[in-house]
Amino acid sequence: MSWNKLLCNHRELQLLGTLSGGQSFRWIHNKENDEWTGIFSKTVWKLKQENDYLLYQVIGSLLTTTQTIIKNKKQKNTANRIFESLLEQYFRLDFNLSKYYEQWSEKDGLFKSACEQFYGIRMLSQEPVENLFSFICSQNNHISRISSMVEKLCSQYGDEICKHDGVTYYAFPEVEQLAQPEVEPKLRKLGFGYRAKFIQKSATQIVEWGGNEWFKSLQDMKYKDAKQELMKLHGIGPKVADCICLMSLNHLEALPVDTHVYQIAAQNYLPHLRGKKNVTEKMYAEIGDHFRNLYGDMAGWAHTVLFCADLKKFQKSDESNSVVPKKKRKK
């Protein structure tokens, strides 16, 4: 299968930090050929970078616009444009990230240092249903287990997209599928623990409140109002609510504070918070407000760069795992 090309300066998008930095849990990196395989918009993708292009393949899709057989070049070009548009939305490529990096670097010396390696960290624009239930799975969990839980949700309740190289790929389930009464006991058997109840109860509430229309209403609200509405869901606390606001509701000032973010804040910005055993509600608000005052209305995105720079798995990466895309040799 040939690769399609989407013009994208490599300084504007870094796949490694963006796709494996804890935003989404459905991407797998093949280090041998530096390709990424993942799922969003009911579509299975392969991605890689080469010079100033984002290369992509569509392995399979459930989108109605792509179910018909492409018979001529014009239809193929139309389909490619649809997929390019999805990629542009997903990676928020309409944002001139270099400009924002310059602004954030002027305000913060730590950011200026971090962005030398962690350029092109994008805030993904995710689908709210997948984002919300993925982060319910993230509570008191680590990334490999979160990824496993998310895939179980998809294989149990999502529609099959395609089979490829011996792997069956599924779309993320609709919220109505997760609201069924039998979901909780089944997920408990699959090892979800208390999260099983959170998933089924929250799904039921969302359906009762209007499903996708309810999510759209949250996008139109002010950030703090949207956060409060999300926290009415069963098992959704401040951190998960902020993750959803930031990653799928376009409230880019939202800043999820966990113990990791607390350590960054206490060690580098708010020394009076050092040595605390727990992040209190007051501390949570103080940390978020500090970074919003520092970075402005995209504080959540800016802080994600610091978060990636502080992750041990990136600090240990050697030249073979460099974030710099490999240049294609000229023949």
Report the distance separating Cα 310 and Cα 314, nearest Å. 8
Report the distance separating Cα 71 and Cα 30, nearest Å. 32
Distances (CA, A) of 104 to 52, 152, 292: 24, 39, 11
CB proximity list for 80: less than 8 A, separation 6 or greater: 4
Report the distance separating Cα 43 and Cα 62, nearest Å. 6
Residue 182: Cβ-neighbour burial (10 angstroms; 0-12, 13-18, 19+) = exposed
Q: Strand 4-7 relative to strand 53-61: parallel, antiparallel, unpaired? A: antiparallel
Task: Give CA angle at 65 (63, 67), nearest 5°.
Answer: 70
- To the query of whether residue 76 is one of the catalytic residues in this protein, the response is no
Distances (CA, A) of 26 to 45, 92, 182: 11, 18, 25
Q: Which long-range contacts (CB under 8 A, 24 or more apart) does 293-296 make?
A: 294/107, 294/108, 294/269, 295/104, 295/107, 295/108, 296/103, 296/253
- The secondary structure of residue 48, as a DSSP letter, is E
Task: Give CA angle at 47 (42, 48), nearest 5°.
Answer: 170
Report the distance separating Cα 304 and Cα 318, nearest Å. 22
Residue 14: Cβ-neighbour burial (10 angstroms; 0-12, 13-18, 19+) = buried
**Residue tagged active-site, from 73, 222, 239, 327:** 239
> Which residues are known catalytic residues?
239
